[in-house]
Amino acid sequence: MTVLIIGFSLRSDMISGESKTLPRTAFVHLFEWQWDDIARECETFLGPQGFAAVQISPPNEHAVVAEQGFPWWQRYQPVSYKLQSRSGDRTQLANMIQRCHQAGVKVYADAVINHMTAQESGVGSAGTPFIRYHYADLYQPSDFHSCDRNIRDYTNRDEVMNCQLVGLPDLKTSSPKVQQRIVEYLISLLNLGVDGFRIDAAKHMESQDIAAILALLDRQTTKEPYIYQEVIDPGNEAIKKTEYYPNGDVIEFEYGKKVGAKFMGIEGQTIAQLETLGESWGLMPSNKAIVFIDNHDKQRGHGGGGTYLTHQDPELYDLANVFMLAFPYGYPQVMSSYRFTNSDQGPPADANGKTHPVYRGDQAFCFGEWVCEHRYTAIAPMIQFRNITTDTAVTHWWSNGNNQIAFGRGDKGFVVINREDTVLTHTFQTDLPQGTYCNILKSEVERNRRTCGDRTQAIAVNAQGQATITALPMEAVAIHVGAKVS
């Protein structure tokens, strides 16, 4: 059973003199959270825990699909670029960004710029009436590609670029007018302090169109947002992720599928095989890759399908996330979601579609209708592990040839993962300095007392760098220099 964390157990001040220079190297997607809740989470958890950034749901006005129970995907059906969504209004968005920045957390906005809403007509979340292909003074029929049908063949480049993704009117992103409208929207977010953009459905826009939009953005603002693009490339379709490298980073969808398959043991695969994970597996270069174990699409079997671990398989999900955050590949995105019983279900809400808050007063109500995977004890402390071990290579890889592995990150950290149903006890070689370390996945570090909150989780490293470590079945152990108590 997964272990959950309600507060936070590790702080950047654990490494004397390094709290202001320790890099932040992983981010979280707070899927469908309201802006006020994200602000509070930045202050009370994300900032102290060392998260680099938070990805927020699309902040623009969207369709309101009451007849289908206000599904999650209504956020991905733009009506206008007004900053009024079910997460909050422009003022709340600006306040959230400012508070997250004060907590040391950047904000990445999900930018839906490939299409508009598939609904025939209606009124958006900011009160804007629309008719399909007619969006007030924003877009008219001539601003869309003429292919008025869904994509049928993903090996046909023209269809993928110009036809409709699940009925969504496809914007003519090669048009100077459309490009300027998109740039004005992105600038409105940058002026509020947004630090980067996830380019939704980038695969359905020519790479040169995105490049032109970004060049126009560069000419009209001095800000330099971080860019990462959604390109689902399973390797057998017309669109290739390599096309999008010049524009910024790219989401590596194959990572979660391949890592998940090892942990699930699909067709006899084992986690010992993860030793060589990287470009040789057909993955993109590490410095271009956004990686995840699951995301909002893959949780639901959307976005091309595939077998991915989720919070519904908690033990394996924990171990896979420990691996992702310990192994030096890509820029990790941690998922934080809500419970659902069907794949279209929107966030927890009342009968009118108003999203339930995560925070009530000073307390975050996680692990119920809001899952909050980023607060799991197998995930939250590993953010600090990754921050501390950045720029160090894998050292002393060990495996039993099956589903028990261990590896170091130079002289900064060491992790053991036991995916088997038997106890693992072994004396491992590490490069850690001699001393006593706390297992960060099971124990708080009591710096003042120079001990571990749970003393059974103290691990001794001798002068030769050797440590005898016990990992229970389906559990992991992680230590790093920030958790050294003597």
Residues involved in catalysis: 200, 230
Going through 11-140 in order, the beta strands assigned E by DSSP cover: 27-30, 53-56, 106-111, 121-123, 129-131
Beta-bridge partners for 10: none
Q: How far is CA 339 from the centre of its chain?
A: 17
List Cβ<8 Å contacts ≥24 apart for 229-237: 229/198, 229/199, 229/202, 230/198, 230/199, 230/200, 230/201, 230/202, 230/203, 231/202, 231/203, 232/203, 232/303, 232/304, 233/203, 234/304, 234/306, 235/282, 236/155, 237/154, 237/155, 237/160
Least Cα distance to 468 among 398, 394, 384, 381 occurs for: 398
Which region holds residue 289: left if phi is over 0, alpha if psi is between -120 and 50, else beta?
beta
Least Cα distance to 200 among 26, 76, 308, 56 occurs for: 76
**Residue 14 dihedral angles phi and psi, to the nearest 5°:** -70, -25
Q: How far is Cα 440 from Cα 10, in angstroms, rounded to an integer? A: 8
Q: How far is Cα 390 from Cα 393, in angstroms, rounded to an integer? A: 8
Report helix, strand or coil for 376.
strand
Which residue has 């046909």 as its token pair? 156
Q: How far is Cα 453 from Cα 475, in angstroms, rounded to an integer? A: 19
CA 137 → CA 105, 119, 292, 449, distances in Å? 35, 18, 38, 64
Q: How far is CA 482 from the centre of its chain?
A: 24
Half-sphere exposure of 377 (CA within 13 A, CB side): 19
Asked if 249 and 291 touch (Cβ cutoff 8 Å), the reply is no
